Amino acid sequence: MKIGCPTEIKPQEFRVGMTPDAAREAIAHGHQVMIQKGAGLGAGFPDEDYAAAGAALIDTAAEIFASADMIVKVKEPQAGERKMLREGQLLFTYLHLAPDPEQTHDLLASGCTAIAYETVTDERGGLPLLAPMSEVAGRLAPQVGAWTLQKANGGRGVLMGGVPGVAPAKVLVVGGGVVGTHAAKIAAGMGADVTVLDRSLPRLKYLDDVFGGTFKTRYSTAGATAELIREADMVIGAVLIPGAAAPKLISRADLATMKPGAALVDVAIDQGGCFETSRATTHADPIYEVDGIMHYCVANMPGAVARTSTLALGNATLPFLLALADKGWKQACADDVHLLNGLNVHAGKLTYFAVGKALGIDVISPTLAVK
Ligand SMILES: NC(=O)c1ccc[n+]([C@@H]2O[C@H](COP(=O)([O-])OP(=O)(O)OC[C@H]3O[C@@H](n4cnc5c(N)ncnc54)[C@H](O)[C@@H]3O)[C@@H](O)[C@H]2O)c1
């Protein structure tokens, strides 16, 4: 198969769809790999590394789109890229179609087959191609929160770990899933006094079994949240109700009960945010203040650590990428229901029910598309 990897063109996106190692593996499987010149630079992979892996370096995205059988990317194709997609071409990337009718109609019109990272599943009911970015955002959250807490950035001027004789920062993590668990681990590792709130008892039991002693757990109620935010120096928002907007767990009125200069890090901002006063920010201007409380609400946190994120995403996508290239998408999806769950678009038809429902577009079953 001819596999093509263009440079990401979405603003502030520095990741790349294939690492030099991924290119080397695909080539060892007998495939051709085309990388756009400079595609890996933002993540610290120079062209020479791809050339050493055996990939062809191509000047323009247009040449890649014109000849590749499969396009591997990170972000959803932008309008100009969508015009270059062809009938029969396979697209493997994050798509997030439900809130994006324009992209959905363009993909349908192109006739391509599109497999979305975010809907590929695993045997434990997880989302293996979304999880690495939640791990990254979770681990980053205490780091950016600690920076936000610094006086010069408007924060309370509290050090995460304290020092001998001075209490550490109190960190509240709301939501103990992938983001929350990684955030709590890192915050505790920095020496903070950490509590995780979740409304799932099995999840709280798991966290207590594995991390009891490292951080505390509490069942999530409005009362527990109100009590804990009064004490917190930092609150990390990490809740998710799949397919729904994030619930607003801290209201504007609640801010008045918090310590002035406390930091709110709303990782769930990509689902609308779990604090009433959250609004999406960018890496260029990440924090703002409301009623004396500092907010950090960057919607694409993994972009700040593009190299780590690229490597983490590449580890997760590679087995699927190789299956698609080795067997062709039809056989690969027929052999693996989890990959089949990633199929969103095929030959002008939607194949993912939740997207069809969200956009009012007819859907055919992915099993039918494979046949
Ligand atoms: N900003 C970014 O760059 C970025 C990056 C990655 C993920 N995210 C977002 O972070 C959020 C969390 O993702 P995740 O992978 O950890 O999800 P997850 O499903 O693993 O965890 C979510 C947790 O929230 C809990 N929860 C739901 N409602 C709750 C409530 N009312 N109180 C307390 N807990 C509650 C659930 O029980 C679950 O344990 C998602 O919105 C995801 O899209 C953002």
The pLDDT profile of the chain, 371 residues, written as one tens digit per residue, is: 999 999 999 988 999 999 999 999 999 999 999 999 999 999 999 999 999 999 999 999 999 999 999 999 999 999 999 999 999 999 999 998 988 999 999 999 999 999 999 999 999 989 999 999 999 999 999 999 999 999 999 999 999 999 999 999 999 999 999 999 999 999 999 999 999 999 999 999 999 999 999 999 999 999 999 999 999 999 999 999 876 778 999 999 999 999 999 999 999 998 889 999 999 999 999 999 999 999 999 989 999 999 999 999 999 999 999 999 999 999 999 999 999 999 999 999 999 999 999 899 999 999 999 98
Ramachandran angles phi, psi of 215, nearest 5°? -145, 160
Please, are residues 263 and 169 in contact by the beta-carbon 8 Å criterion? no
Mutate to test the pocket of ligand 1, among 199, 206, 240 (most ligand atoms within 8 A of CB): 240
List residues bridging with 5 in a β-sheet.
35
Phi, psi of 163 (to 5 degrees): -145, 170
CB of 195 closer than 6 A to ligand 1? no
Residue 270 bears catalytic tag: yes
Q: Closest residue (by CA) to atom 6 of ligand 1?
A: 134
- The answer, yes or no, to whether any atom of ligand 1 lies below 6 A from the CB of 196, is no
Distances (CA, A) of 62 to 20, 22, 168: 21, 22, 54
Q: 3-class SS at 76?
A: coil
Q: Is 287 helix (H, G, I), strand (E, B) or coil?
A: strand
Catalytic residue flag (residue 96): yes
- Residue corresponding to tokens 């939740």: 354
CB 215 within 8 A of CB 172: no
